[in-house]
Amino acid sequence: MLPEEQVPQIKKQLLEQLDATNLPNKEEVKKSVEGMNAVQLEEFLVQNKLIKSPEGEPQSAPQGSAQPQQCIFCSIVFGDVPSHKIDENKDSIAVLELNPISKGHVIIIPKEHLPDSGKLPSTAFTLAKKIAKKLKSKLKSKDVEIHTSNIFGHEIINVIPMYEGETPNSERQQAKPEELSKLQKLLEVKKKAPILKKPKRKKLKDKKLWLPKRIP
């Protein structure tokens, strides 16, 4: 619920905002806002999408129609949500899955929100194959599964090491943060430090400096 002491302040702001609009029933709305208690005011704000509902879910979002701005993968791409990135190319990034099917489960996230697998850029698969090779050699898995899935309307590619007994449908388990950091260190592409060209120092030639003879 809204803190009681904030109610007058919020009402004041709201009334000012209403004043600035050209709603036909402005005066009516203003009057009802003035008469609201904390609960009614909160409901009003939620309904008008001025704040999120107490559950944190925007009420108007219909299920299964995640908007790009609400998509967790877009948030990862934009860096709004922290992730364990290990590689990237121009169209996609590769991050460690937080709830992996097996150790080293990586997801390739196209930077663009693509709801349809047919549109995945070929470079996303190039990255997936590169990661698969790396997983096989670094983690000594028997095999690596590559398959696409669509979560929250964002098409991604799973790269899953297969050791003993795993299947792509094995149960997911939440990875420990320290495990993820360790894997990230092992798998991430070490960016070569940019080679700075050292400015060449001009050697001073041993010029015989001509000095005027001192007159004693």
Binding test (CB under 5 A) with Zn ion, winner from 10, 14, 41, 74: 74
How far apart CA 98 and CA 127 sit, in angstroms, is 19
Q: With binding defined as CB under 5 A, does residue 114 bind Zn ion? A: no
User: Among 10, 14, 71, 101, which residue interacts with Zn ion (rule: CB under 5 A)?
Assistant: 71
Figure out which of the listed residues 73, 93, 97, 108 binds Zn ion, where binding follows CB under 5 A: 73
Of residues 146 through 205, those in contact with Zn ion by CB under 5 A are: 154
- Kindly determine how many residues on this chain lie close enough to bind Zn ion according to the rule CB under 5 A: 5
Least Å distance, CB 112 to Zn ion, is 8
Instruction: Establish if 105 lies at the interface with Zn ion (CB under 5 A).
Output: no
* CB of residue 155 to Zn ion, shortest distance in Å: 9
User: Is residue 135 within the footprint of Zn ion (CB under 5 A)?
Assistant: no
Taking the least distance from each CB to Zn ion, the nearer of 105 and 154 is: 154
CA-closest candidate to residue 111, choices 159, 61, 67, 68:
68
d(CA 4, CA 1): 8
Is 77 or 187 the residue whose CB approaches Zn ion more closely? Answer: 77
Binding status of residue 96 toward Zn ion by CB under 5 A:
no
Which region among 20-28, 66-74, 125-133, 208-216 touches Zn ion (by CB under 5 A)?
66-74
Instruction: Give me the least distance between CB of 111 and Zn ion, in Å please.
Output: 9
Q: Which is nearer to Zn ion, 73 or 161 (CB)?
A: 73
Nearer to Zn ion, 70 or 184 (CB): 70
Minimum distance, C-beta of residue 154 to Zn ion, in the bound complex (Å): 3
Q: What DSSP string runs through the chain?
A: ---GGGHHHHHHHHHHHHHHS--TTHHHHHHHHHT--HHHHHHHHHHTTSS--TTSS-TT--TT---GGG-HHHHHHTTSS---EEEE-SSEEEEE-SS-SSTT-EEEEESS----GGG--HHHHHHHHHHHHHHHHHH--SEEEEEEEEETTEEEEEEEEE-SS--TTSPP-PPPHHHHHHHHHHHSPPPPPP-PPPPPPPPPP------PPP--
Residues forming contacts to Zn ion in the complex (CB under 5 A) are 71, 73-74, 113, 154
